[in-house]
Structure 1
Amino acid sequence: MALAESLRALGAGLADAGRQRLALAALDVEDQALRAGQLLAALLAVAVLALLALAALAATVVVLLWDSARIAALVGVSLFFVAGAVLAFWRLQRGLRERPPLLAATMAELRKDVDQLAGRRP
């Protein structure tokens, strides 16, 4: 009878550990989704305002140089925008490469559980 109770307790413990890890995974996913939404909203606000400011600045430069060097002003403003686009693209690629993996905390906890069940010290 003691063996059956021990096996039942072990099964209950494993089921509870699995439930806890699943709850942690759900929190990780929710946290990532919330963070992504906040970053997207901030990115959109910054992009719209920056584009408006750059457009106004570009128009000002072209108007100021219209009589003396309009072609040079248009080329210079265009090159400035191309350089900005290249820089933004580079930073976007770097940000995507350096993001933390999805469910990293959950996977770390599962590794700890496996180590403890296998009798290894963490």
Structure 2
Amino acid sequence: MAITDSIARLSANVIGILYTRLELISVEVEEELTRFSSYLLWSLVALFCAGIAVLLLILLLIASFWDSYRLTVLLSLLGIFSGTAIGLGWWLKTTLSNRPRLLADTLAELRKDVSALQGHQADNRDANKTGDQ
């Protein structure tokens, strides 16, 4: 009966570990979705406001220099907005490539569990060898 009790306890421990890790995964996914939704919403609001402001600024500048420097103003604005778009695209690419992996904390905990179980198994083998001698 001792072996069946050991197997039952081991099964219960494994199921408990899996349950805890699945809970951790679900919490991380929920947090990531909430964060992403918030980023998306505020990004869209900021883009809308910035777009309206930029259009009004362009209209103001063109109207102000219509008679004298309209081509210079238009070319300057084109250069400024093109440079900004390129700079922001580079920044976004860098930021996205350096972001942390999804479920990084969960994977780290699973690695700890595996190494702890492997260490526990090695300890049991050492104890069995010592007991046999």
Structure 1 CA distance for aligned equivalents of residues 88 and 44 of structure 2: 14
TM-score scaled by structure 1? 0.93
Partner of 1:9: 9
Partner of 2:26: 26
Partner of 2:123: none
The alignment of Structure 1 onto Structure 2 pairs a total of residues equal to 120
Runs of 5+ unmatched residues, structure 2: 121-133
Partner of 1:37: 37
4+ runs of 1 displaced by more than 4 Å?
Answer: none
Corresponding residue SS for 1:47: helix
Q: CA deviation at 1:91?
A: 1.6
Runs of 5+ unmatched residues, structure 1: none
Root-mean-square deviation (CA, aligned residues, Å) is 1.1
Partner of 1:56: 56
Partner of 2:47: 47
Amino acid at match of 1:26: S
Structure 1 residue 74 and structure 2 residue 37: aligned?
A: no
Structure 1 residue 112 and structure 2 residue 112: aligned?
A: yes
Structure 1 CA distance for aligned equivalents of residues 22 and 79 of structure 2: 51
